[in-house]
């Protein structure tokens, strides 16, 4: 694949984080252990796990579904990276925010897998690893659940987290569970998602 454009990049080592702080969207500095940074880290882990699942799954529809979730996660991370006092400013900014249609896409994919013909088959839902692609999807699923738990903890601690973000990460995990079950039996008909 040839890159569309080569963008010169300054050094990744800015050294601004050498004191244990990092920047939020509108420039505030916070400790790298701040709950917002922890949440972004967990969502970034999910993004990487989705990348791995995408890399080991050859189905083009599945890869497209995973990539769409990855793109949505970048938007979610951006929103989480805005300080409590800047949430309204962020939502009104050019950066964009997750919209209801992103959740609707996940709901539709879940429904398609749950109502497909033939129905999904699974022998033991609690023992991942029947195939490499299924194991990668299960790893992404549990990573999504970890990210979801952290977002819930942020909200419980009084930090604003839109309900849509929680719903999205929850539904992504549900979808990943179903996709993993489908990937356990690669010779059987696949439900496009």
Tens digit of each residue's pLDDT (9 = 90 or more) over 127-139: 788 899 999 999 9
DSSP 191: P
- What's the confidence (pLDDT) of residue 123? 64
Give domain status of residue 8, yes or no: no
Query: CA-CA-CA-CA torsion for 122, 123, 124, 130, nearest 10 degrees?
Result: -80
Give domain status of residue 152, yes or no: yes
Q: Measured between alpha carbons, how far is residue 49 from residues 59, 118, 176, 177 in Å?
A: 17, 28, 11, 14
Give domain status of residue 150, yes or no: yes
Decide if pLDDT at 105 tops 60. yes
Give domain status of residue 118, yes or no: no
Average pLDDT in the chain: 87
Give domain status of residue 173, yes or no: yes
Give domain status of residue 52, yes or no: yes
Give domain status of residue 103, yes or no: yes
Domain that residue 171 falls in: 29-108+131-183
Give domain status of residue 7, yes or no: no
pTM: 0.85
The residue-averaged pLDDT of 42-71 equals 96
The residue-averaged pLDDT of 17-46 equals 84
Q: What is the CATH number of the domain that holds 148?
A: 1.20.1200.10
- What's the confidence (pLDDT) of residue 27? 74
High-pLDDT (> 90) share of the chain, %? 54
Residues sharing a CB contact under 8 Å with residue 45, sequence separation 6 or more, in sequence order? 143, 146, 147
Total number of domains in the chain = 1
């Amino acid at each position: 694949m040839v890159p569309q454009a080569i963008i010169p990049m300054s050094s990744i080592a800015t050294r601004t984080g050498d004191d244990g702080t990092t920047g939020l969207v509108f420039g505030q500095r916070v400790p790298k252990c701040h709950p917002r940074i922890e949440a972004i880290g967990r969502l970034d882990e999910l993004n990487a796990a989705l990348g791995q699942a995408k890399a080991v799954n050859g189905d083009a529809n599945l890869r497209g579904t995973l990539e769409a979730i990855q793109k949505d996660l970048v938007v979610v991370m951006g929103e989480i990276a805005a300080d409590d006092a800047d949430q309204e400013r962020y939502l009104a900014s050019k950066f964009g925010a997750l919209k209801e249609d992103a959740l609707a896409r996940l709901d539709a994919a879940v429904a398609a897998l749950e109502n497909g013909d033939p129905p999904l088959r699974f022998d033991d839902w609690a023992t991942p690893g029947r195939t490499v692609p299924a194991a990668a999807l299960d790893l992404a699923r549990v990573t999504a659940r970890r990210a979801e738990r952290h977002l819930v903890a942020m909200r419980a601690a009084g930090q604003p987290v839109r309900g849509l973000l929680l719903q999205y990460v929850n539904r992504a995990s549900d979808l990943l569970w179903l996709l993993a079950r489908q990937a356990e039996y690669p010779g059987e008909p696949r439900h496009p998602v």
